[in-house]
Structure 1
Amino acid sequence: MPTDLTIRTYDTAPYLGRHQVLDPRSLAYRRPYDGQPLRATEWEPRIPVLDQQNLVAQGIYTSQDYGLDEDVNALSSCTGNAATALLSILLTKEQATGAGLNTADATAAEHYAIGLYADATEHDQWQDAQWPSQDVGSSGLGVAKVLRDRGLIDQYGHATTAEEFCTLLQAGPVLMGLPWHSAFSEPDSSGFVDADPSWATSPLEGGHEVCVTALETVVTQDGLLLPDQTVIRFRNSWSASWADHGDGRLTLATYLAMRDQVDIIQPRLDGVRP
C-alpha cells in the first residue's frame, strides 16, 4: 500500500459512506484547462435512479445474498452506486450486459452497485475491515480502481480546479466525493442542495459520493468562469423521490468552498471495445 496517501475519513451512515483518499500518483493524471470554450453538457444515465436505502422493499435481502446474519435495509454504498450510474453512461447496453449490469432493472442494478462497493472496500487497503463483514464505507479512488481492474475503463483522471472540473465534463460524467452537510439533505424545489446560504455552518453528516452528469449552466465574463452562476447537476442514489427526480444541483462556488474535502475522478473509456 502506498505510504503517501492523503486520507480523510468520515463517520459512516447507511446513506453516507464515502471517505476521501488522494494518491499523488493518480493526481498527476489531470486534464488541465487550456483555455478551450466551456459549453453546457449533459450525460444521461441509462439506468433507473438507484436507492442505497430501502433495500428490503426493493427485494434485496442481504442475509441471503451476502451471507449476513440479518437483513440490512441500507448500506454506505454511495461509491458503488455513483460508479454504476457512471458506467451506464460509458457503456453501451450490450457492453453493460456483458459486464453483468442490467440497465433495465433497478433491483439488478442496485445489486451490481453493492458488488462494486464490496470490491471497493477491498481495494481500500488502508482500512482494516471490508464489506460485507462491516459496512465501513469506501472511496472514489477505491471504486475507480475496481472499474479498471475489471477491465471496464482504460484509465481515470482527476480535476482539482473549477476549470478542470468543467473541462472533464466536456468529455463525460465524473465521480464527485464531497462532505455532506445537513442542509444538503433538504434541497429546494429545483434540487439545489446549496440553496440555503448558511449551508456551510449546518452540521457535517458525513462523506458522500455522487455521479455528476451535467454542466448545466456555464457563465463566463471576460474569459473567466463565474462560479456563483455556473451550475452542475448530479445523480444521487436516494431514489427518484429525492430532490429533482433523484438529481441534485449545486454551483461551482459551493464546490470551491469545499474543495479541500472534495475529490473529482473521471473514469474514462478511451479505447474501442469489441
Structure 2
Amino acid sequence: MPLDHGTLVHRYARHTRLGRHQVLDARSLAWVHTHTGGTLKPAAHTPRIPVLDQEDLFAQGIRVSGVVAGGEDVDALGSCTGNAGAAAVSVLLTDAEAKTAGLDVSSAKRAEEWAIGLYAQASALDNADGVFPPDDSGSSGLGIAKALKRRGLVGHYQHATTAAALASLLQTGPVLLGVPWFKAWFEPDRHGFVDHGDWAASPVAGGHEICVIALEQVVQDHAGHIEAESTVIRFRNSWSSSWGDHGDGLMTLATYQQLRRYIDALQLRA
C-alpha cells in the first residue's frame, strides 16, 4: 500500500502486545549503513530507563486518557514501538536532556507514559491506516524515528539491511528492530532465547518492535565473515522485567538472516 514518500511493506493485525508495522521510506533508506570490514566485538548499551510494560497499565497507575488527549483508558496498548523508542533514546540523552524532554529515567510509570505519548505521535506520522488515539492500530520504527527527530531528540538515523551491518551498528549504540513475532517467541527458553526449538513452525502472532541493546556474542571466520548461528544479540522487550531474562530476550543472527526481508532495523543518532 503506497504512503506519502514511502511504502507500507507489511501491516499486521492488531494485538495488545504487538503493535508494529513494517514501513520503509525510500528517502531514509538512502542512509544505509555498511560494515566496511574488520573485527567486531561484543558491545552493550543499557537503557537508562527501567524495563517498561505496555500491559497492566491500571496496576501501574496509568490512565491513557490522562496521557494522550482523546485516549481511552485501557489496560494494555500495542505501543511496543513507543516503548522500544523510549529505551533507545534513553541511551543517547544526558540527564539534563532527558529532563528537558520530559523523560523521567528513574520512574517506570512515568517513562511508560512518555512512551505512550511517543507512540501517539508516531502513529500520526506514519500516515498508515488508523491513528492513535482513537485507534490503537500500531506504528512503526520509522514513525518513532520521525517523531523523535521532530522533537529534536535525534539528529538522524541509519538503517541496517544485513547481519554484518546490524552487528556493526551495535558497536556504537542500540538499534530499533521491527520483527514478525512468532507465537513460540512468547515463551523464551531458560536462557532467554526466543528462537529455540522449532520456532519457525509456529504461526506469526503479529508485528513487534524491540530495542537491540547488545551484541552479546560475535563469531567471525578467518576471512572476517560473521558466523550467524553463533552470533547473539540481546534485546529489551516491553512486557515487564518478569519476561525472559529480566525483561530481555536473546536471538541469533541466523534468525535475523532468515527473516531479514520482513525486518527493519534502524539506529537513532544524536
User: TM over 0.5: same fold?
Assistant: yes
Equivalent runs, 1:58-207 vs 2, <5 Å: 58-67=60-69, 71-127=73-129, 129-196=130-197, 198-207=198-207
CA contact (8 A) 2:123 2:132 kept: yes
Deviation at 1:63, TM superposition (A): 3.8
Judge which range, 50-59 or 129-138, deviates more.
129-138
The one-letter amino acid of 1:139's match is S
Deviations 1:140-194 (A, max 9, x none): 0001000101000010010000000011101100100000001110101110000
Deviation at 1:126, TM superposition (A): 2.8
Distance across 2 between alignment mates of 1:43 and 1:258: 24
Match of 1:23 in 2: 25
Unaligned runs of 5+ in 2: none
Match of 1:213 in 2: 213
Unaligned runs of 5+ in 1: 270-274
Match of 2:251 in 1: 250
Local SS of the residue matching 1:5: strand
Judge which range, 57-66 or 91-100, deviates more.
57-66
Change (3 A) 1:4 1:242: closer
Deviation at 1:245, TM superposition (A): 0.2
Match of 1:234 in 2: 235
Choose the corresponding residue for 1:41, options 40, 43, 62: 43
Distance across 2 between alignment mates of 1:124 and 1:218: 34
Distance across 2 between alignment mates of 1:254 and 1:5: 24
CA contact (8 A) 2:68 2:120 kept: no
Distance across 1 between alignment mates of 2:248 and 2:5: 37
Deviation at 1:67, TM superposition (A): 5.0
Q: Aligned pairs, how many? A: 267
The share of aligned pairs that are identical, in percent, is: 52
Match of 1:264 in 2: 265
Deviation at 1:4, TM superposition (A): 4.7
Local SS of the residue matching 2:49: coil
Deviations 1:126-146 (A, max 9, x none): 32x211211010010001000
Change (3 A) 1:65 1:161: closer
The one-letter amino acid of 2:152's match is G
How large is the RMSD of aligned CA atoms in angstroms?
1.3
Distance across 2 between alignment mates of 1:142 and 1:28: 17
The one-letter amino acid of 1:36's match is G
Once superposed, which parts of structure 1, at least 4 consecutive aligned residues long, lie more than 4 Å away? 67-70
The one-letter amino acid of 1:176's match is L
Q: What TM-score results when the alignment is normalised by the length of structure 1?
A: 0.94
Distance across 1 between alignment mates of 2:63 and 2:6: 39
Distance across 2 between alignment mates of 1:121 and 1:153: 18
Distance across 2 between alignment mates of 1:246 and 1:3: 35
Distance across 2 between alignment mates of 1:80 and 1:4: 20
Distance across 1 between alignment mates of 2:90 and 2:150: 17
Local SS of the residue matching 2:214: strand
Q: What TM-score results when the alignment is normalised by the length of structure 2?
A: 0.96
